[in-house]
């Protein structure tokens, strides 16, 4: 797909996301010669900056936080512009239209516009309407695409109503719902790893797989985002989107082709096959937790309720662990244990496929199991463990492993998630963006959890720096299984480094 010249309009340009993620990503794409020949980046926000002040602020941030080349940075800044208007005020969009006209002429960018909604979610429905009021969504003269940040809705009803509003003005193929986990190289690799190798796919089903674990752990707490997080919680912040998307890639059927809709069709089918959670599941298979204060590696960590912006009696969950099922021929009866939480011992995201034991245990019941660990981050890689004869007398089996680390590849210069996703949106490739029906299916699945959060017995405490409430361990123990306790290093499970 071609990278056509275009204008990138960032709404919410004075905010954190623009500074921390979007501008660094665009700078790196530019420095690596991956941007189209002609482009502009127009920041739109209420704060009163001039073009120069906007450039200076971002350049200073980039110099302080990224590896930059002064000369490249100064050329990059010549593409940056700023328009101080209230993005919720439709009457001001005349100014936006006029500014885009001038920029298109000056930079020869044509009339292709990529709009990025990096604003508070309350504006996600408003901005598209304002754009449409001024015909800025019209594709008769150049493409118009809209990137919508997370969270996409607050529950099924709000997600549906937002979707409806967006579809009033834009076609589905103009909409790019970002889930930055899909931009991660290692998440995309799930697709290549599964479907480019003949040896795994025959085993990738209920006949050979005992259970699957998906972990998205973070050591960080809410980091000054208490105000947002307290109204969100782990279910909405990480589980409904990032982790269920990863599950979709692990459990999907092979796509007919490597094309956006073929891939997204298969992922969506998985989400539509999640077994609905019954009252029994909520009681027995779900663990919600909230971290309490603790001393970890010599540092005192605040409890969640002591964090700035968090209500003193907050019942918001910072941890969720769930045993769930995908009701398809391939996965019938195979439990997926999925967990995510803040203030866990380390930052690690991984998928673990646990294979069934041999039908007859000739080397004893304790013979090692076969495991495949697909590490999403950090120390990105793959680890396969299997049994081998322990040297010496007798026939005792011992667990050994083979591993691959991305950093060993020559081309280990991975694009960050935002670089990849921005580039794809510029090219018009929506493969790695969430489709409306998939988002809907995920909200419908988590809806019972959202109601269950109100139950006074639904929340357990866990000390910051531990692996969540003990009830989460019990959840697997009851099934004679246990979570893997991963560390920063893929192969290490002895102690956790940060």
Return the active site residues.
242
Q: How far is the CB of 267 from ligand BG6 (least distance, A)?
A: 18
Is residue 150 near ligand BG6 by the rule CB under 6 A?
yes
| Size of site (CB under 6 A) for ligand BG6 | 5
Q: How far is the CB of 148 from ligand BG6 (least distance, A)?
A: 14
Q: How far is the CB of 398 from ligand BG6 (least distance, A)?
A: 34
Contact 351, 373 (CB under 8 A): yes
Q: How far is the CB of 232 from ligand BG6 (least distance, A)?
A: 8
Q: How far is the CB of 17 from ligand BG6 (least distance, A)?
A: 10
For residue 15, give the 3-state DSSP assignment. Answer: coil
Helix (H) or strand (E) holding 317: none
Is residue 380 near ligand BG6 by the rule CB under 6 A?
no
CB-facing half-sphere around the CA of 275: CA atoms within 13 A: 20
Tell whether residue 184 is among the known ligand binding residues.
yes
Ranges within 157-186 binding ligand BG6 (CB under 6 A) = none
Q: Which is nearer to ligand BG6, 268 or 349 (CB)?
A: 349
Q: Which is nearer to ligand BG6, 91 or 407 (CB)?
A: 407
Ranges within 325-354 binding ligand BG6 (CB under 6 A) = 349
Encoding tokens for residue 244? 């269920």
Tell whether residue 16 is among the known ligand binding residues.
yes
d(CA 93, CA 138): 14
Hey, CA dihedral for 344, 346, 347, 349, is it positive or negative? negative
Q: How far is the CB of 179 from ligand BG6 (least distance, A)?
A: 8
d(CA 383, CA 375): 8
Instruction: Determine how β-strand 299-301 pairs with β-strand 294-296.
Output: antiparallel
Q: Which is nearer to ligand BG6, 349 or 430 (CB)?
A: 349
Q: Which is nearer to ligand BG6, 281 or 424 (CB)?
A: 424
Q: Which is nearer to ligand BG6, 397 or 490 (CB)?
A: 490
Contact flags string 210-249 toward ligand BG6, x per CB under 6 A:
--------x------------------xx-----------
Tell whether residue 46 is among the known ligand binding residues.
yes
Q: How far is the CB of 25 from ligand BG6 (least distance, A)?
A: 13
Between helices 436-452 and 244-251, what is the axis angle to 10°? 120
d(CA 103, CA 100): 5
Hey, CA dihedral for 452, 324, 191, 167, is it positive or negative? negative
d(CA 109, CA 382): 42
Integer angstrom CA distances of residue 323 from 326, 339, 357, 435? 11, 9, 21, 25
Tell whether residue 13 is among the known ligand binding residues.
yes
Tell whether residue 269 is among the known ligand binding residues.
no
Number of CB atoms found within 10 A of residue 16's CB? 11
Tell whether residue 17 is among the known ligand binding residues.
yes
**Under 8 Å CB-to-CB from 75, ≥6 apart: which residues?**
30
Contact 76, 31 (CB under 8 A): yes
Q: How far is the CB of 39 from ligand BG6 (least distance, A)?
A: 26
Q: Bridge partners of 84?
A: 45
Contact flags string 412-431 toward ligand BG6, x per CB under 6 A:
--------------------
Tell whether residue 150 is among the known ligand binding residues.
yes
**Closest residue to ligand BG6: CB criterion:** 237
Is residue 307 near ligand BG6 by the rule CB under 6 A?
no
Instruction: Determine how β-strand 6-11 pairs with β-strand 113-117.
Output: parallel
DSSP classification of residue 19:
I
Q: Shortest CA distance to 22 belongs to which of 425, 424, 422, 433?
A: 422
Q: Shortest CA distance to 270 belongs to which of 324, 326, 189?
A: 326
Helix (H) or strand (E) holding 440: helix 436-452
Q: Which is nearer to ligand BG6, 150 or 354 (CB)?
A: 150
**Under 8 Å CB-to-CB from 284, ≥6 apart: which residues?**
none
Tell whether residue 342 is among the known ligand binding residues.
yes
Q: Which is nearer to ligand BG6, 12 or 84 (CB)?
A: 12
**Under 8 Å CB-to-CB from 270, ≥6 apart: which residues?**
247, 248, 251, 252, 326, 328
Q: Which is nearer to ligand BG6, 134 or 184 (CB)?
A: 184
| Residue ranges at the known binding site | 12-19, 46, 150, 180, 184, 218, 237, 342
| Residue ranges at the known binding site for NADP(+) | 12-19, 46, 150
| Residue ranges at the known binding site for substrate | 180, 184, 218, 237, 342
* Interacting residues with ligand BG6 (CB under 6 A): 150, 218, 237-238, 349
């Amino acid at each position: 797909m071609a990278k056509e010249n275009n204008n990138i309009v960032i709404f919410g340009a004075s905010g954190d996301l623009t500074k921390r993620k979007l501008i660094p990503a665009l700078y790196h794409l530019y420095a690596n010669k991956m941007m189209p020949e002609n482009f502009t980046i127009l920041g739109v926000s209420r704060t009163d900056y001039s073009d120069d002040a906007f450039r200076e602020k971002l350049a200073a941030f980039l110099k302080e936080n990224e590896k930059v080349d002064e000369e490249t940075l100064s050329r990059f800044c010549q593409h940056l512009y700023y328009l101080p208007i209230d993005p919720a005020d439709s009457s001001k969009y005349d100014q936006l239209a006029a500014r885009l006209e001038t920029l298109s002429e000056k930079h020869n960018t044509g009339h292709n516009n990529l709009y990025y909604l990096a604003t508070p979610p309350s504006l996600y429905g408003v901005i598209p309407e304002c754009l449409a009021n001024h015909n800025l969504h019209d594709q008769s003269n150049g493409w118009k695409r809209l990137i919508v940040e997370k969270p996409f809705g607050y529950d099924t009803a709000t997600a549906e109503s937002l979707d409806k509003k967006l579809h009033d003005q834009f076609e589905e193929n103009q909409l790019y719902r970002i889930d930055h986990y899909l931009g991660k190289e290692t998440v995309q690799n799930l697709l290549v790893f599964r479907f480019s190798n003949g040896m795994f796919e025959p085993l990738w089903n209920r006949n050979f797989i005992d259970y699957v674990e998906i972990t998205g752990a973070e050591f960080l707490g809410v980091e000054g985002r208490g105000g947002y997080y307290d109204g969100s919680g782990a279910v909405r912040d990480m589980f409904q989107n990032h982790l269920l998307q990863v599950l979709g890639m692990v459990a999907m059927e092979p796509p007919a082709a490597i094309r956006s809709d073929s891939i997204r069709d298969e992922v969506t089918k998985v989400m539509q096959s999640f077994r609905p959670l019954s009252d029994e599941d909520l009681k027995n298979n779900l663990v919600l937790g909230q971290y309490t204060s603790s001393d970890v590696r010599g540092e005192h960590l605040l409890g969640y309720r002591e964090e700035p912006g968090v209500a003193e009696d907050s019942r918001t969950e910072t941890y969720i662990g769930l045993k769930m099922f995908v009701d398809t021929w391939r996965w019938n009866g195979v439990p997926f244990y999925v967990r995510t939480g803040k203030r866990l011992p380390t930052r690690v995201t991984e998928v673990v496929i646990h294979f069934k034991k041999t039908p007859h245990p000739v080397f004893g019941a304790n013979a090692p199991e076969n495991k495949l660990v697909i590490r999403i981050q950090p120390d990105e890689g793959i680890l396969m463990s299997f049994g081998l004869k322990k040297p010496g007398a007798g026939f005792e089996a011992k667990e050994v492993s083979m591993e691959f680390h991305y950093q060993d590849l020559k081309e280990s210069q991975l694009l960050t998630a935002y670089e990849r996703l921005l580039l794809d949106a510029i090219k018009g490739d929506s493969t790695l963006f969430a489709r409306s029906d998939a988002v809907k299916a995920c909200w419908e699945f988590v809806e019972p959890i959202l109601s269950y959060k109100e139950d006074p017995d639904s929340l357990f405490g866990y000390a910051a720096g531990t692996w969540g409430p003990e009830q989460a361990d019990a959840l697997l123990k009851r099934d004679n299984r246990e979570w893997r306790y991963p560390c920063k290093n893929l192969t290490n499970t002895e102690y956790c480094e940060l």
